[in-house]
Amino acid sequence: MKEKGNGHLYLRIAESIESLIASEVIKIGEKLPSVRVLCKEHGVSISTILQAYYHLESKGLIEARPKSGYYVRFTHKQFPAMPEKSKPEETYGNNQAEEIITSVYSNLADNSLVKFSISVPAPELLPIKKLNKTMIEAMHDLPAGGTNYEDIQGNPELRRQIAKWAMLWDGKLTGNDIVTTAGCMNAVAFSLMATTERGDTIAVESPTYFGILQLACNLGLKVLELPTDPVTGIDVDALKRNLKRQRIKACVIMSNFNNPMGCCIPDDHKKEIVKLIQQYDIPLIEDDLYGDVYFAKSRPKSCKTYDDSGLVLWCGSVSKTLAPGYRVGWVAPGRFLDKIKMLKMYHLVSSSTLEQEAVARFLANGRYEHHLRRLRSILHANSIQYIRTISEYFPQGTRLTCPQGGFLIWIELNKSIDTYEIYKKAIQYGISIGPGRMFTLQNQYQQCMRLSYGLLWNDQTKEALKKLGKVIGEMDT
């Protein structure tokens, strides 16, 4: 095993050790091989082995003991039980949780809070300086300093880079297939407007992102919530059953690491879903906002991968991975391209010129992939730290998801608990959460909550989680 020229060798060593911990070949409390032994075994330097151990330590899986070495601290066997598959009523809901949503998001700019409620990475995890440098370069290079209107379909180079990036999930796109938007929700909004009319019914996962629910209600649409598994996503049989028995005009699915559950639809399920919507000639609006934040070795496919009919409208953005405030998103709308372009002209006229150019350059020079590798590593470590801390400090019987990507953990507590009451109590201690009732139009998920692990993992974050566990414990009586 050659060390020279392989900057990720320590990760391979760390993954090998982690698999031994997960399979309990090395058990909790047992000592790991010494640094010198591993150096000799792998033929690498001391610094490489130390990097591997630091990586495992950052996840909370091992700990260093002074003058003794490294020991196993936590294993995947200790993960709490998963939440059960959701069971919404297969009927229309219209009971919005406006009071809860308004309360939670009124604190969006309050930097004194530990905001487990916001599903974006901490600014410290983003390449802000490099991105700002790219923005300045764009201002110097573009005609009129980037103040002119952009092409209605969007920056040509950005669209080309997005199409090139889609090759990671076997997307067969060109720049001409893509329309840029003001963020992913803007792309979803245009897609709903292009495929539905007031009074139509759409099918969604349950729970799902509250912004999709609010948007649908605002457009006068009926929302059918379908059962969703915390690991595999939307229940395909339930979708099939409802497509047979009623007129559904469109489906809206967050295919990869959905918000709020974090589930990822397996690729064979995605293929089956696309066959279904093609059979019934129903458009599928695919929100793939979190697809690039995967913890496995490769990016999961998208529903768009299997689409040869133009019925899948694939939506994405860099809001969760690069620059939330830039509001740069896109949609590959298939057969609805002309409608989307017309809607964009009516509602936006043009996308922001400078932000699009800056993102296009960032994608083109390889900086984005370098940034994503680091971000994925940090978020994966964060997710395990959260799970370990929650398992130690939350009440017995707490269930939670085990994310394989994204930023979010979905927690299910005792049914007697109302997490909006938890929110109101926790906010007094400077802690904000996402109560589960936000993510449905039905009277359900009151005992659930969404937490973001996109924060920096430090003493403040850990203490906030411990305090949140105490608050829950006091109310779990």
Q: Delineate the domains of the chain, giving CATH numbers in brackets.
A: 9-77 (1.10.10.10), 95-124+369-475 (3.90.1150.10), 130-368 (3.40.640.10)
**Structure tokens belonging to residue 429:** 């201690």
Which of helix, strand or coil describes residue 51?
A: helix
- Measured CA to CA, the distance from residue 353 to residue 335 in angstroms comes to 26
Give the gyration radius of the chain's Cα atoms: 23
CA distance linking residue 324 with residue 128, whole number of Å: 11
The pLDDT of residue 477: 64
pTM of the complete model? 0.87
Q: Report the distance separating Cα 274 and Cα 282, nearest Å.
A: 10
pLDDT tens, position by position, for the chain (477 residues)?
A: 344 444 578 888 888 888 888 888 888 788 898 888 889 888 888 888 888 887 788 777 888 887 788 888 877 666 788 899 999 987 777 777 889 999 998 887 788 899 999 988 999 999 989 988 998 998 888 888 778 888 889 999 999 999 999 999 999 999 999 999 999 999 999 999 999 999 999 999 999 999 999 999 999 999 999 999 999 999 999 999 999 998 999 999 999 999 999 999 999 999 999 999 999 999 999 999 999 999 888 899 999 999 999 999 999 999 999 988 889 999 999 999 999 999 999 998 888 889 999 999 999 988 899 999 999 989 988 998 999 899 999 999 999 998 889 999 999 999 999 999 999 999 999 999 999 999 999 999 999 999 999 999 999 999 999 999 999 999 876
The closest alpha carbon to 439, from 80, 108, 119, 113, belongs to: 119
User: Would you state the pLDDT for residue 29?
Assistant: 80
Strands 222-226 and 92-93: antiparallel
Q: What is the distance of C-alpha 413 from the center of its chain?
A: 22
Question: In Å, what is the CA distance from 51 to each residue of 15, 44, 74?
Answer: 12, 11, 19
Contacts 24+ apart (CB under 8 A), 15-22: 17/52, 17/56, 18/56, 18/59, 18/61, 21/61, 21/62, 21/72, 21/75, 21/76, 22/75, 22/76, 22/77
> For residue 421, what is the enclosing H or E element?
helix 419-426
